[in-house]
Amino acid sequence: MKIAYLECFSGISGDMFLGALVDAGVPLVALQQAVDALDLDVTLRLRKVDRSGINSSKVDVLVDGQPADHSHEHAHSDEHKHEDEHQHPHNHSHEPHRPHGHGRSLSTIRQMIQQSALNEPVRSLAIRAFELLGASEARVHNVPVEDVHFHEVGAVDAIADIVATSAGCIALGVDEWICSPLNVGGGTVDCAHGTFPVPAPATLDLLRGAPIYSSGPAKELVTPTGAALVQALNAEFGDFPAMAVHATGYGAGSRNFHNHPNVLRLSIGEKIEAVADGICVIETAIDDSSPQILAYVADLLIAAGASDVIRTAIQMKKGRTGTLLSVLCSSQKRVELQKILFRETTTIGLHYREDHKVALARSLVTVATEWGAVRIKVAKLNDGTVANAAPEFEDCKQLAQENNIPLKQVMQAALRAYEMNQRAVTQTNKDG
C-alpha cells in the first residue's frame, strides 16, 4: 500500500504543500496544467531556497505576473464587511494589504471547478477543501455558508493552491495519507474583527479533532488552506508510520526563521505489511485466588495499559488446579503492571520476558445498517489486500440492545454492508 506522511513541525500552508509535492517528484508542469484548466491568469514559479540549512522547494503563485497577496487567503461574510482589511496571513507572510473587490462565493468557486477540464478525483478533492473552508467561516461568523465570500485576490491565490495541490496529491496515487500533529505556532493574528491568538478562529475550527500544539516562532504556522487540505484528504494523525520510504520532499514557507526550518516534509513510500514490535510478557501462576478477583485484576491491568491479559487453567504441584496469568504489555509498562499484580493478587513471585509480535496494518471503516452505524476493523496486507474484516463487537451489541434484535443479525448485516461497499469501490475503480 502506497502511503504519504506529512510532517508539520513548522505548520502547513498551500505553498508549502505545493513545494513538498514538487520536491518529492511531482512535475511542476502537472500542477500548472491543473491551474490552467481553470482559465486563470496564474503562473506557478519554482525556486530552490535555503530554510535553516535545509535545501527546499518554494512554489510561488503569480497572479497577472505578480506574486499573489497571500494575506488575502482568508474568506469573509457579506454581513461582516469592514473598511479595514482582513489581515489573516497566508504562508507566514505579513505583507501590506491591497484593496479588493467583492470577492467570490463558495458556489461560484465550486461551479468554476466543476465546469473545468480537471479529472473527477481532482475536482472532488478541491471542492471538498473549499467546502471545509466555507463551512468553518460560516460557523465562526454565524452566517449561511453562501454568504461567505473569498477576497478577489486571495480567492485566485487560494484556488491555485488548492487545485494544484489536489492535482499533485492525486498524481501521487497515494492510498493513505497520514499527518503528524500540527504545530500551529504562536503569537496573535490581526483579523477584521480584532486581534486573535494563533490559531485564528477559522483555522482552529478547521482543525477540530486534529492533534495540535504550539512551539517555535510566535507566528501563525498553519493557514486555513493548509488545514483544509489536510482535512479534505481525510488524513489520519499519528507518528511516523512503518514504511519503506521511496521519496522525500521539503516544501518551504515564505519566512526563514532562525534555528527553525520553516518547511513541510513529505515522505512517500510503501507501508510495511507486518511490523515486528517488542513486547513484554509477564506471567505468574496462582492457585489460591478466586476467579472473581482474577477477573477484577485483569480489568485493572487493561485499564493501566496492558495490551492483553490471558488466563489459562493449569495443573500445579500437589494436584492443585491453578491459573496462569499472562500479561502482554510494552516494556515501558512492565514495572507499573508488576506492582498491580503484587498488590491485587496473592502471588509472591513472577517472571517476565521480552518477545516480539507481528501485526498487520489496521484501520476502521464505518458502514451503515438499517439500525445504525457500525465500525468495521479492517486488516490489510502490504499490497492493500484485505486480510480480515470484522465488525466492532461493542457497536453491534449496542444496536442489538437498542432495537431488541439478535446480536448475530446486526453483525451479519454490518459485514454485508461492508462487502457491498467494497464491491462498489472496486467497480468504480474499474470504470475510472
Fold of 275-349: Alpha-Beta Plaits (3.30.70)
- The separation between CA 389 and the C-alpha centre of its own chain, rounded to angstroms, equals 22
Alpha-helix runs per DSSP H in 221-359: 224-232, 291-303, 334-344
* CATH 3.10.20 domain position(s) in the chain: 360-431
- Is 347 buried (19+), middle (13-18) or exposed (0-12) by CB count in 10 A? middle
Q: What does the block give as the cell for 235?
A: 488524513
What predicted TM-score, i.e. pTM, was given to this entire model?
0.61
Domain 360-431 has CATH 1.10.12: no
Distance CA 390, CA 418 (A): 9
Write out the H or E segment, with its range, that includes residue 264. strand 263-271
Q: What does the block give as the cell for 428?
A: 468504480
- Beta 176-179 vs 236-237: how paired, if at all? parallel
Q: Evaluate whether 152 touches 101 at the Cβ level (below 8 Å).
A: yes
Distance CA 93, CA 84 (A): 18
Q: Evaluate whether 38 touches 211 at the Cβ level (below 8 Å).
A: no
Distance CA 207, CA 211 (A): 8
Nearest CA among 406, 371, 409, 378 for reference residue 392:
378
Name the residue with cell 527553525.
260
Distance CA 78, CA 176 (A): 38
Residue 279: C-alpha distances to residues 60, 66, 239, 339, 398 (Å):
48, 57, 19, 18, 32
Give the DSSP letter string of 354-406: EEEEEEEEEEEEEEEETTEEEEEEEEE-TTS-EEEEEE-HHHHHHHHHHHT--
- The separation between CA 194 and the C-alpha centre of its own chain, rounded to angstroms, equals 30
* Axis crossing angle, helix 152-172 with helix 106-114, rounded to the nearest 10: 40
Cα dihedral across residues 17, 20, 25, 29: positive or negative:
positive
pLDDT in tens, the chain (432 residues): 899 999 999 999 999 999 999 999 999 999 999 999 998 889 999 999 999 999 999 999 998 777 775 443 444 433 333 333 233 333 333 333 333 345 688 888 999 999 999 999 999 999 999 999 999 988 988 888 888 877 644 578 889 999 999 999 999 999 999 999 999 999 988 876 788 899 989 899 999 889 999 998 999 999 999 999 999 999 989 889 888 899 999 999 999 998 899 999 999 999 876 555 678 999 999 999 999 999 999 999 999 999 999 999 999 988 889 999 999 998 889 999 999 999 999 999 999 998 877 778 778 888 889 999 999 998 888 667 888 999 999 999 999 999 999 999 999 999 999 998 888 777 766 665
* CATH 3.30.70.1380 domain position(s) in the chain: 275-349
Amino acid identity, residue 240?
F
Q: What does the block give as the cell for 11?
A: 505548520
Cα dihedral across residues 231, 229, 176, 271: positive or negative:
negative
